[in-house]
Amino acid sequence: MRFTICAAKPEDCKDIARMIMELAVYEKMPDQVKISHKELERDGFGPNPFYQCLVAEVPEEHKSKDGHTKVGYALFFYTYSTWKGRTVYMEDLYVMPEYRGKGMGKALIATVAKVAKEQHCVRLQFSVLDWNKPSLDFYLSKGAEDLTAKEGWHFLRFHGIALDNLAQEAP
Amino acid sequence: MANFILRKAEPKDVSDILRLIKELAKFEEMEDQVILTEKDLLEDGFGDHPFYHCILAEVPKQQQSADGHVIIGFAMYYFTYDPWIGKLLYLEDFYVMKEFRGFGIGSEILKKLSQTAVRTRCSSMHFIVAEWNKSSIEFYKRRGASDLSLEEGWRLFKIDKQNLTANTNKKR
């Protein structure tokens, strides 16, 4: 099946928001999605973009059951390693279930890798849920290493009230 | 001893920043993995599009370290994006020299970072900690941090330069 991978445009934000929700449902956390296409437009296409996004599109004749031609995306941003310098973090990678197995996921991650290399980035990082076997297998086949298993890294966060409390904490 | 100030890093500070980065890497038992240079830090932090921001802790000259340094702590951070909640502040490195611990400097740096996060409309501050680093994990948990690897099962992955090149060259 023919498809293209292109940099997202502001008008793609409604499709990206739709697919973000589909991915959140798959990850069993749909109630945690708090932003809409409006925030995506403001934060991705202003003078200081907070993320980059690629969209996978199929021709009209291959549109989905619900009539969509934008069927996959990869959302990423630049980060910094104090050991190695410029790096890329891939926050989301998703292809709609009916379009899997056709090379779109592979093409999306390869394009993120290409952009990373053009910007002199030395590493691509991302996170995967420990039960997500299909994704774990996909990434391992591309040469990814599980740093949580290998080096013991855990993700932590200060969120919501915890962040507010910390900001107000007396010295 | 409680006299210190927190300030934004400037281009002249890159030598101290690199020194502290290497000290922290040594503590994490990965000193040989630091390949970054002062030139990289200068270009990447103080050019047209900074890849990071840095807060420094500085003591007066009369309280300098045993090796004669007045820059004795730092935090490096940048802004990231969560498609569910929007802007986040990501804390990449956070370190206070051993001889200056226990005076509230680390707490004050963390408070400053969280104020920055709230002021810039970030919903959350994220970071990673090695699971064997019990003292750091306790420090963060005491202040309200949650461990997403334990609570939700997130695992951190990387694809390094060699494999990135291999992925770029693969035909469709």
Contact across the interface for B52 and A122, Cβ inside 8 Å? no
**Closest C-alpha to A54, from A103, A99, A7, A112:** A7
E strand or H helix that includes residue B158: strand B154-160
Chain B residues with beta carbon closer than 8 angstroms to that of A74: none
Whether A148 contacts chain B with CB within 8 A = yes
Cα–Cα–Cα angle for B109, B89, B114, rounded to 5 degrees: 35
CA distance A103 to chain B (A): 7
B113 with B91: CB under 8 angstroms?
A: yes
pLDDT tens string A35-52: 999 999 999 998 889 999
pLDDT tens string B15-26: 999 999 999 988
pLDDT at position A171 over 80: no
**Predicted local confidence at residue B160, as pLDDT:** 81
The reported pTM is 0.84
* Mean of per-residue pLDDT scores for chain B: 90
Chain A residues with beta carbon closer than 8 angstroms to that of B36: 81-85
**Predicted local confidence at residue B2, as pLDDT:** 63
Q: Which residues contact B100 (CB under 8 A, 6 or more apart)?
A: B1, B4, B57, B59, B65, B72, B73
pLDDT tens string B52-62: 999 999 999 99
**Predicted local confidence at residue B143, as pLDDT:** 85
When CB atoms are compared, the residue of B81, B118, B131 closest to A43 is B81
Cα–Cα–Cα angle for A126, A132, A137, rounded to 5 degrees: 75
- Joined together, the tokens standing for residue B28 give 């994490």
Contacts 24+ apart (CB under 8 A), A27-33: A27/A129, A27/A132, A29/B84, A29/B152, A32/B84, A32/B85, A33/B83, A33/B84, A33/B85
Tell me whether residue A89 is one of the annotated catalytic residues.
no
Q: What is the C-alpha separation between B127 and B157, in angstroms, rounded?
A: 14
**Is residue B169 very low, low, confident or very high in pLDDT (cuts 50, 70, 90)?**
low
**Predicted local confidence at residue B109, as pLDDT:** 94
Mean pLDDT for B62-68 is 92
**Is residue B164 very low, low, confident or very high in pLDDT (cuts 50, 70, 90)?**
confident
Q: What is the C-alpha separation between A119 and A124, in angstroms, rounded?
A: 12
**Is residue A170 very low, low, confident or very high in pLDDT (cuts 50, 70, 90)?**
very low
Contact across the interface for A155 and B25, Cβ inside 8 Å? no
- Joined together, the tokens standing for residue A4 give 């293209």
**Is residue B75 very low, low, confident or very high in pLDDT (cuts 50, 70, 90)?**
very high
Q: Looking at this predicted complex, what is its ipTM?
A: 0.80
Contact across the interface for A156 and B146, Cβ inside 8 Å? yes
- Joined together, the tokens standing for residue B62 give 């009369």
E strand or H helix that includes residue B6: strand B5-8
Q: What is the C-alpha separation between B28 and B26, in angstroms, rounded?
A: 5
Q: What is the C-alpha separation between B138 and B132, in angstroms, rounded?
A: 11
